Chain A
């Protein structure tokens, strides 16, 4: 059996290989669903903005289906939405995506997962990327979401909830990522 390949840091020069124009917008004119923006700041242990991080997101379409062969749910695919986005933070540590609000997808057992976005963080100083999830404030399904339920501490659970900060030109949610220290984001081993 071949052994698993180890992770190494993305380093400070990842833009060269990974960043292209247009990666941070997941939507086109034909995309179905409620358009939203997601923005946030990445900060390190002492609270200093991280200016060389990369964020990737993966999400279901508005109907709650992933554009992937493993997802065989009887829900429509959207040919104008593939669910993947990537953004490098800017010189102030901020990132921004334009996407749509995902539909709910099934969890394990008979559970329904609240609408959420898988968020992956890469940076110099991270030898292995970090996985977290973004949920939406005010979503009733959050109360019964099985993954939020893995985080018993209310203050820690709040690090996974994006909060509305603007309604125009499109509804905008804020999702800061604290790598370390007070208010540290919940990261998952998947």
Chain B
């Protein structure tokens, strides 16, 4: 018997072809995916070290000799599997726009200022209890070309290596009460309302640090495992 990762519940992930998000239309596969019963290749997976993803960087608020502009935030949470078990040693890679809604990236031409003291990326590894924590600046909203007057809600990108190839996850964390969420095709391409709600972080006064930064909680849940007779 070997453990394989559970099937993904219907409605959790967006469909590849999601017409409201126009870029999917020329990039989504037109053929149905072929189901591959997991083998050793899929139940194992990368555990990249600092030589590959870079050293730990859990404070995005200071760089190049100064403090970034904007509203300081602390983001913390746990990486768990569907059975509620902590996922230790998971590498989280994180990137985001600055407070003005501009990425420190050559492709971003939005007419908003760059911040010389904010790069907007970092990496953390979960502890034995699956927890992580970093501090940053609340990212600004920004316009994009999907449709007339389209604006992305405030969001932070997360990339996560869980225990295996089958748990690889890239997602975005949103902020509570953002009026742009209801209008955002990328967020709303997720069919299941509860699954959408789970991408919205929760404000937490206990995480909030007095006289310093607002606190948000965001847990990430990867596929759980069950035993299967892989030998047969």
Contact = CB atoms under 8 A, between A and B. Distances in A.
A and B: real partners? yes
Interface of A: 1-18, 20, 22-23, 44-46, 48, 50, 52, 56, 58, 60, 66-68, 70-71, 82-84, 86, 105-110, 113, 116, 118, 120, 122-131, 133, 146-147, 150-151, 156, 179-181, 184-190
Interface in B9-58: 9, 12-16, 18, 21, 23-31, 33-49, 51-54
A22 to B, nearest CB: 8
Given A18-B53, A60-B41, A105-B40, 19 more contacts: A2-B221, A4-B12, A6-B198, A8-B14, A8-B172, A14-B95, A18-B93, A52-B107, A58-B41, A70-B44, A84-B47, A84-B48, A113-B41, A122-B170, A125-B28, A131-B36, A151-B34, A180-B26, A186-B34
Interface residues of B, number: 84
B121 interface: yes
Nearest to B9: A4
B31 A184 contact: yes
Given A14-B95, A129-B168, A6 B231 contact: no
B18 A70 contact: no
Nearest to B31: A184
B181 interface: no
A70 B166 CA distance: 13
A16 B104 contact: yes
Contact of B39 (A52, A107, A181): A107
